[in-house]
Amino acid sequence: MTSDPAGISCGSSCSYAFPAGTNVMLSATASSGSVFTGWSGGCSGRPGNCQISLSAARQVIANFGLSPNFNKSTPANSAGNQTLSPTISWGSSSTASSYSYCISKINPCSNWANNGTATSKTLSGLSLNSTYYWNARATNSAGVITYPNGSQSNWAFTTGKLPIAFNKLSPANGLGNQAASVTLTWGLSTGAASYSYCYDTSNDNNCTNWRNNGTSTRVTISGLPARSTLYWQVRAINAFGTTHGNNSITSYWWFKTR
């Protein structure tokens, strides 16, 4: 605590004899790891300085408390390929009475929501292939707000995306005179965890007999009926959804057997 005019300058306790009628301004500065929580005695409230006019001896107390220090945990800053329902989490602080969090596509985020005493929050309704910014903060019993990692800076993460668009390759669309055994091939789709394919004899841009093909971009189908038209489609799949060949669910190709 320090005073203006000079006279008071101390850590835990001190006194000074000012002339009667002196107007004294007291200032309180917290040391590292603590926060100023307010005045009591001859002054009250926080924040700000304490100003008193001395007509008699006065006792003023500056109160301090531990700052609720903690860190953000997950997702890690700049993490990618996150689910659309990730859980953000942060460490606990023994001096925190509650926590709040914010999440936004705009940096910095400002839509703070109370999270009680919980140190994690599972989000929902996020968009594919989007960057989100998030933060948390702790409040102690004195109403002091502290941000994690010693900074108000937000962390960011990016959600995953669908497999990249790709095209079917062979047999070419509308090709005739094919054998009873045909190899279907298609291009690589970045981000695909697996592929599946289907074929039938109905020209309705739809089939239900989808077969898993793992990570291979080709498959040989055999035992096809002679003098028939076959319609086929392929799709790439990952945890975030499905992308169909030629980027259309109804883009079925066909070929004819001899």
Residues 6+ apart with CB under 8 A from 158: 78, 79, 80, 81, 82, 129, 130, 131, 132
Q: Give the start-to-end residue ranges of the domains of the chain.
A: 2-66, 72-159, 168-257
Q: Which residues of 224-248 are buried (b: 16+ CB within 10 A; e: fewer)?
A: beeeeebbbbbbbbbebeebbbbee
If you average pLDDT over residues 52-78, what whole number do you get? 86
Q: What is the pLDDT of residues 20-38, one digit of tens each?
A: 888 988 888 877 667 777 7
Q: Rounded distance, CA 132 to CA 149, Å?
A: 18
Burial of 148 (0-12, 13-18, 19+ CB in 10 A): buried
Confidence of residue 51 (pLDDT cuts 50, 70, 90): confident
Count of CB atoms within 10 A of residue 199's CB?
22
**Which pLDDT band, with edges at 50, 70 and 90, does 46 fall under?**
low
103 vs 36: CA distance, rounded Å: 29
Q: Which amino acid is at 9?
A: S
Q: What is the tens place of the pLDDT at every residue in 94-118? A: 889 999 999 999 999 999 999 999 9
Question: What does the pLDDT read at residue 33?
Answer: 64
- Nearest in space to 96 (alpha carbons), one of 44, 29, 148, 40: 148
The mean pLDDT value for 213-223 works out to 98
pTM of the model: 0.73
Domains 72-159 and 168-257 share a fold: yes
- Tokens representing 124 are 């929902």
**Token pair belonging to 169:** 């390759």
Name the more confident of 47 and 219: 219
What pLDDT, in 10s, does the model give residues 140-176? 877 778 899 878 999 999 999 999 999 999 999 999 9
Q: Please, what is the end-to-end C-alpha distance for the chain in angstroms?
A: 97
Topology, domain 72-159 = Immunoglobulin-like (2.60.40)
Report the chain's mean pLDDT, rounded to a whole number. Answer: 92
- Strand-strand pairing, 131-139 and 98-104: antiparallel
Q: Mean pLDDT, to the nearest integer, of 132-145?
A: 88
Topology of domain 168-257 in CATH is Immunoglobulin-like (2.60.40)
The region of weakest confidence among 41-45, 82-86, 240-244 is 41-45
64 pLDDT more than 80: no
pLDDT of residue 200: 96
